[in-house]
Structure 1
Amino acid sequence: MRDEARAERQAEIEEAAYRVVRARGYRGASMLAVAREAKASNETLYRWYGDKRGLFRAMVESNAEATRTELKRALDRGADPLESLETIAPILLSMLLGERAISLNRAAAADESGELGAALAAGGRDSVLPLIEELMRRGLTNRSIVAPSARTAAEWFISLLIGDQQIRRVIHAVPAPSKAVVSARSEEALQAFRKLCSG
């Protein structure tokens, strides 16, 4: 199977897995259930993902890909950290408050095994936070950011941007934000971050 066709088929399988996990939770989202929903063979799923943990980790990584790509682009071109955050903030916020991340977080909250939570941490936060830290480290070096450490600056940024919005989405307390809401919240978070981290 050509790379493009395989990537398209994997996207279909992962979308089927989201439907299954929404309906049955993580425990009920067996590889067989996902294969049936995707109209794929169980063997294909095991060959491509290894096991259920591999499938869900791939889903988390796919969901975070746009954020990682933009962060790597900013780092590769040596862009100004604060200017880069203007582009990154709405992408990150949209991802974390989007239906896919919320579906996975709801399922992880109900998963007593902790498997899905571990996949969320490894494929999401643990792959994105180091890139944000590196961006902050550059800001500390060129003195556009003042903070005790790159890790602290990254955590301040994430806290200002996300706040309690993700958990409120997970518990159905707030709806999915519109683009206008994402844009406004991102701008407010960046203004607060600049004030907090100015020299």
Structure 2
Amino acid sequence: MKSDLRQDREGRIEAATYELLAEKGYASASMLSIAKRAKCSNETMYNWYGDKVGLIRVLVTRNAADARAVLEQALEGGGSALETLERFGPVLLGVLLGDKAIALNRAAAADASGELGRELSASGRGVIAPMLGDLLSRAAQDGEIPATNIPAAVDLYLGVLIGDLQIRRVIGALPPPNTSEVQRRNAMAIRILRSYTA
């Protein structure tokens, strides 16, 4: 299949998945119902994604691609870890507070099986946090931060950066934050990391 045709079909599948998660929830959004909504075959769905968990994994991975790319570039190229965080934080918040992530999190909150939540955690934070840990390890080695407990430093940075913004977006209590709020949160998280000694 030509790449542009595949991209078009993948776009329809992605849109159909988000629509059905919002309408029916995770348990009722079957591969067949997604295939019908996307106007593609159920066989294509299973060939490309394996199962519904595989489809969600692809969506989460695609949604987090920009944030992951910032970390990958920094880890491969060197440079100041804290300067990387200045770029990374706003990108990550943009992903986590964007409509796609909010739709996935709303569906996960309503999924009694916990399957969707486990996949979101594994494919999202489970990928990003270790990379962030590698970056903060370099920051500690280079004397940019005093932390020796890198997992705790990762938790601190993410906790200050994200706070309760995502859950407030999920429950509809908060509109997407503006650029200045995102920058302020990230600057605060970096400032705290600079003095964190655990």
Residue matched to 2:80: 80
Residue by residue, what CA displacement relative to the aligned partner does 1:70-111 show, whole Å, maximum 9, x if unpaired? 100011111211010000000001111111111111111111
Q: Percent identity?
A: 45
Residue matched to 1:188: 188
8 A contact 1:32–1:42 mirrored in 2 = yes
Residue matched to 1:48: 48
Residue by residue, what CA displacement relative to the aligned partner does 1:136-180 show, whole Å, maximum 9, x if unpaired? 010111111111322111111101100111111111111122333
Deviation of 1:51 after TM superposition, in Å, equals 0.8
Deviation of 1:4 after TM superposition, in Å, equals 4.8
8 A contact 2:144–2:194 mirrored in 1 = no
Residue matched to 2:60: 60
The alignment partner of 2:167 has SS state of helix
Whichever residue aligns with residue 158 of structure 1, its letter is L
My pick for the range that moved more, 179-188 or 168-177, is 179-188
8 A contact 1:49–1:55 mirrored in 2 = yes
Q: CA RMSD in A?
A: 1.5
Deviation of 1:8 after TM superposition, in Å, equals 4.1
1:84–1:108 CA distance, 2 compared to 1 (3 A): same
Q: What is the TM-score when the length of structure 1 is the normalising length?
A: 0.92
Q: For structure 1, which runs of at least 5 residues remain unmatched after alignment?
A: none
2:18 & 2:129 partners in 1: Cα distance? 24
My pick for the range that moved more, 19-28 or 126-135, is 19-28
Residue matched to 2:102: 102
1:187–1:54 CA distance, 2 compared to 1 (3 A): same
Deviation of 1:9 after TM superposition, in Å, equals 2.5
Residue matched to 1:32: 32
Deviation of 1:68 after TM superposition, in Å, equals 0.7
Whichever residue aligns with residue 76 of structure 2, its letter is D
* Total equivalences in the alignment: 197
